[in-house]
Structure formats: structure tokens, C-alpha cells
Structure 1
């Protein structure tokens, strides 16, 4: 009996190794073709039109009672920019086009982290002591809309990554903006406002 339980634990342990369905944003993480795990993903010359679904989400998880919420000012740890491998889809006729799309998704991942930080900053600066849980919604909605507009603009301007020089230029600008908002990383504590 003990042997069967041990064997079951070993089998379950091995099946869990290497399964990372969700990746939180990290400045050093580089998306690869292996990260696109949706069943529709394929690189094949039979693909007549390219398709990419990034699998990127900005998640906001607040689980606290009203009293704790009223006293909370820093929501950095409650917001996360994630890449969902199982939702990420890429279809391209060849590896050249696939790599262009991967660079575009990497840009989108970094752009989403930038907007995650912008949301954290908005929440930190606008949270009042007696704000209720719904106070964040207008800031969240505004930033998500801005992010979507910025993303669509770059997808279009770069012709889905065909203009690599423009994509690199825009990506470098996003990385610089991320650094400017370093106080709003997930693990960071924003500086307190100086009282006058």
C-alpha cells in the first residue's frame, strides 16, 4: 500500500515538472516558440495568413475585507502581468515570420508590464482612506484601454512585426519607461508622499 502511494506521488511529481502554464513578467524572460502551447499553434508553409494571440493578461486580485482594504495604500503585489502559455497561439508559414511574431509578443508583454506599473501608480496616488473596493475600476479600465490602443498601433505600424527596426525602437522606448516606474514593480514599495 505504501509503495503504491509513493509511486503515485512520484508520477504526480514528474507530471508537474516543467509545467508552467502562467509566467509572471520578468525583465529577463524571453518568449520562445515553445511558450505558444495552444493546440492551434503551428509553423507550416500551408499557413496562408499569420495569426498571433499573445496570451498576455493584467490580473488584479484583491482578497481582503473592507477594513483592511480601507487601510491599504500599496496594491503593487495585487497586480500582475502574466503570459498564459496555454492561451498563446502562433500561426506562421515559416520560422522567419514566427520569430517576427514572437518579437511582437515580447513587445506586448513588456508593454503590458508598463501599463501594469501605470495602474499601480494610479492606484497608489488616488487611493483615499475611505475608498471602497470599486474605486480602482475607472483607473484600471482607463489604463487597459490605453494599453490596447498602444498595442494595436504598434501591431499596425510594424505590419505585424515586419518592420523590425520600428518594433525595436518602440520596444526600447517601452523598456525605458518601465525603468522610470521602478517604484511600481510587483515587489516594490512606492515612496511616501512628502507632507508639506
Structure 2
């Protein structure tokens, strides 16, 4: 929660965009331990993908927020990032059969990990570099 003045003069929203796992809300149902581990690997991929898109959101907010922007500009950015995340997640779920196709999932996880490295300034505790004028 921020008041309007604080929002107007805040540029770095990294600490305000969260990507977290809620253990109490999680469950896993599988017929055997092998399937359970594959589903768990898919859940790890989902978390990595969420972190990637959280960083993308932080970057977009940072780049598009003007000094006198109001909070309404966030909705379009959030909706766009959420749509991209949902599409990529659905594609991964389908192409890996929810992680049961291990080789495909491993390749996707490796790619997401590489992409996360493209956003080193947009982790939750990071401070992006100042824009050059």
C-alpha cells in the first residue's frame, strides 16, 4: 500500500512485485513416487517461470513508469505479462504432459533459467541502474 505521492515518486518497484510459493496451498496427487517426482519437477518449472515473469513485470514497470504516472498504468502492463505467462505455461503443460516427459521439461527449465539471467537487475532485492539521459 502506498499513498499517491509515494507512488508518484517511486521508480523501483522490485520489492513490491512478489513471486512466492505457498506451501499450505499446495498439494500433489500421483499414483506412484516416480510420477510424483515428475509432477514436482513441473511445479519447480512453474515457480521458475513465475519468477521470470515477475522480473519481466518489474522491468516493464520500471521502464514505463513516469514521474507523474498514476496507478492505472499498471493494469495494462500486468494484463500483458499475465497473458504471456499463461500462454507459456499452457504450452509447457501440454508439450511436457505436465512434466511427465522429462527431457522436454528439462529443456524448458534450462531455457527459463537462461532467460532469468537476462534480468539481473530485476530480482526482488535488486536495484536497477539509473536510466541514462
Query: Higher strand proportion, which one?
Result: 1
1:152 aligns with 2:85: no
TM-score, length-normalised on structure 2? 0.97
Match of 1:188 among 114, 126, 130: 126
1:143 match: 81
Taking the aligned partners of 1:142 and 1:88, their CA distance within structure 2 comes to 26
Post-superposition Cα deviations, 1:14-46, rounded to whole Å, max 9, x if no partner, equal xxxxxxxxxxxxxxxxxxxxxxxxxxxxxxxxx
Question: How many Å separate the matches in 2 of 1:112 and 1:97?
Answer: 23
Q: 1:89 aligns with which of 24, 27, 48?
A: 27
Greater relative CO (CA pairs within 8 A, separation 6+): 2
State the number of aligned residues.
133
Spell out, residue by residue over 1:134-175, the C-alpha distance to the aligned partner (whole angstroms, 9 max, x if none).
Answer: 211111111111111101100100111121011001100100
d(CA) in 1 for partners of 2:6, 2:41: 41
Structure 2 unaligned runs (5+)?
none
> Structure 1: which 5+ runs fail to align?
1-62
Partner of 2:49: 111
Q: TM-score, normalised by structure 1?
A: 0.67
**Which residue of structure 1 aligns with residue 69 of structure 2?**
131
